[in-house]
Amino acid sequence: MKTADYLKDLEKCVRCGSCKAYCPTYDEDGTEAMGARGRLALLREVSLQRLKPTPLLNDKIFSCILCGACSGLCPSGVDITEDIYYGRSILKQSDKTRRYLRFLTKFFSKNPNLNFKILQMFQFILLPYFTKKGFLPSNFKLSENTFKNGQQVYKPSKTRGRVAIFTGCSTNFLYPHLGKSLIDVLLEAGYEVIVPNGEVCCGVPLRTLGLEKEALELAKKNMRIFGKLKVEAVLSLCPTCILAIKEQYPKLIGKGIGNAMDISSFLLDKLDLHHLSLITKHPATVTYHDPCHLIYGLGIKNQPRELLEKIGVNVIEKRGEGCCGFGGLFSLSYRDISNSLLQKQTDKYLKTGANVIVTACPGCMMQLSKGVNKPVFHIIELIEEAYCGSDEV
Ligand code: SF4
Ligand code: SF4
């Protein structure tokens, strides 16, 4: 985004307040500055130099989860989340509170494998520490290996098409078994699967801290790799990654990965699920959690539910939508709000009486696992079990 576009976009706000209807942080706090309208007003005043950044002002802007619940509600078409990303890039110089987080996030995004090795080496100290601090679920175990290991190409016995996987950091380092499940399903469906070498972080964690320039460099690297692949679709288990590479990259670098898709939409279209039912140890009644970037960012609501129905799973809906409070680095910076949002959602899920929570985002999986004493699965695990007959879940 250019500064002139940013200012023009901020001016589009007619202060109607519709954006506050589903804002989780406004709902928590109830003050104007914790909703989109108030945040945009603050950013406008800063850009017109009528307000100077202060720790309090920065706190209001950096406490937005960037969930996107407000975006579709704006009658003026203000690009609220992009304005907040851009506003943060202006405020980052004055924002000392998150300077260490910025340093660590930059370091991680440049050296992810090294960081994973450090985490592995010191996991006996680090994992209990992170669990105690509430960053990780108590049952979290670190895998021995990452999902990616150089360029990987998987060929089915009879090829029907070709797809690539954008792995994302959470699947690669924290939940590599999800990547394996996706490959198994795609191979069973007859797709050749490419996991290209050289993928880097999608850039969203950097953007949330105002590090637009650094995120832009990552976007260019990913475009160089995925832009030239001749594949039907680029799939990811993480809706945030899809949102970034498909919708945010065009705003950042002028082009995105147009054939990027979330797995539910792709699999619903491609898998023949007519004769399946879930013959497993899992109860066939679950409740489903909508990841914010999937439902608000990509507009995907029915597809995961239809998929679950087709594999013989009954979905009990909770009352009302809502963010689980993860938001990537948000859950580290704003632990109280994050925990309170998690509590609200888990209370709703527990009221459904379902024994299992299913979602479609590794981040939501991790967050929800901290809040409930019930199994939380990524939808791909259930699809694999039903479609490939796996008993590994
Ligand atoms: S992105 Fe989410 S948290 Fe931020 S202002 Fe919009 S609804 Fe509120
Ligand atoms: S909905 Fe749009 S126009 Fe209305 S207050 Fe929010 S940002 Fe402004």
- pLDDT category of residue 393 using cuts at 50, 70 and 90: very low
Judge whether 79 and 5 are in contact, CB under 8 Å: no
Closest CA to 248 of 84, 117, 36, 44: 84
Is residue 36 in contact with ligand 1, taking CB distance under 6 Å? Answer: yes
User: Which residues contact residue 286 at a Cβ distance below 8 angstroms, ignoring those fewer than 6 apart?
Assistant: 308, 313, 314, 315, 316, 354, 355, 356, 357, 358, 377, 382
pLDDT at 26 over 90: yes
DSSP lists the bridge partners of residue 314 as 285
The answer to whether residue 38 scores a pLDDT higher than 80 is: yes
Question: What count of Cα atoms within 13 Å lies in the side-chain half-sphere of residue 22?
Answer: 16
Q: What are phi and psi of 207, to 5 degrees?
A: -65, -35
Mean pLDDT of the chain: 92
The residue nearest atom 4 of ligand 2, judged by CA position, is 16
Pocket test for ligand 2, best of 32, 71, 78 (most atoms within 8 A of CB): 78
Q: Please name every residue paired with 153 in a beta bridge, in sequence order, or none if there are none.
A: 194
Specify the ligand 2 atom closest to the Cα of 18: 1
What is the per-residue pLDDT for 280? 54
Asked whether 379 and 387 are in contact (CB, 8 A), the reply is no
Q: Are 271 and 387 in contact (CB under 8 A)?
A: yes
CA 289 – CA 308 distance, rounded (Å):
12
Beta-carbon contacts of residue 95 (< 8 Å; ≥ 6 apart): 53, 55, 58, 62, 88, 210
d(C-alpha 290, C-alpha 382), whole Å: 16
User: 240-297 pLDDT, tens per residue?
Assistant: 999 999 999 999 999 999 999 999 999 999 988 766 655 555 557 899 999 999 999 9
Say how many Å lie between the CA of residue 70 and the centre of ligand 1. 6
Cα(302) to centroid of ligand 1, in Å? 22
What pLDDT band is residue 365 in, cutting at 50, 70 and 90?
very high
What is the whole-number distance in angstroms between the Cα of residue 386 and the centre of ligand 1? 36
Q: Which phi and psi angles does 287 have, rounded to 5°?
A: -120, 145
User: What pLDDT, in 10s, does the model give residues 367-392?
Assistant: 999 998 899 999 999 999 988 875 44
For residue 35, give the ligand 1 atom closest to its CA.
Answer: 5
pLDDT band for 216, please (50, 70, 90 cuts). Answer: very high
Q: Compute the C-alpha angle 214/182/186, nearest 5°.
A: 120
Q: Which two tokens stand for residue 279?
A: 């013959």
For residue 278, the model assigns a pLDDT of 54
Q: Which among 13, 23, 86, 329 is the best mutation to test ligand 1's pocket, defined by most ligand atoms within 8 Å of the CB?
A: 23
Q: Give the number of the atom of ligand 2 that is nearest the alpha carbon of residue 35.
A: 6
**Could you identify the residue written with the tokens 């901290």?**
370
- In angstroms, the Cα distances linking 341 to 24, 26, 39, 344 are 7, 11, 20, 5
pLDDT at 390: 53
pLDDT in tens, 281-333: 555 789 999 999 999 999 999 999 999 998 888 899 988 779 999 999 999 89
Of 333, 325, 250, 338, whose CA–CA distance to 289 is shortest?
325
Determine the atom of ligand 1 nearest the C-alpha atom of 22. Answer: 7
Q: Could you give the domains of the chain?
A: 3-91 (1.10.1060.10), 273-388 (3.40.50.1860)
Identify the pLDDT of residue 320. Answer: 78
Amino acid at 19: C
Strand 191-195 and strand 233-236: pairing?
unpaired
Q: Beta-strand (E) ranges in the chain? A: 152-154, 161-165, 191-195, 233-236, 260-262, 285-288, 314-315, 356-359, 376-378
Measured in whole angstroms, the distance separating CA 340 from the mean position of its chain's CA atoms is: 19
Q: Say how many Å lie between the CA of residue 95 and the centre of ligand 2.
A: 26
Residue 164, pLDDT > 50, answer yes
Roughly what angle, to the nearest 10 degrees, separates helices 176-188 and 379-388?
40
Which ligand 1 atom is nearest residue 36's CA? 5
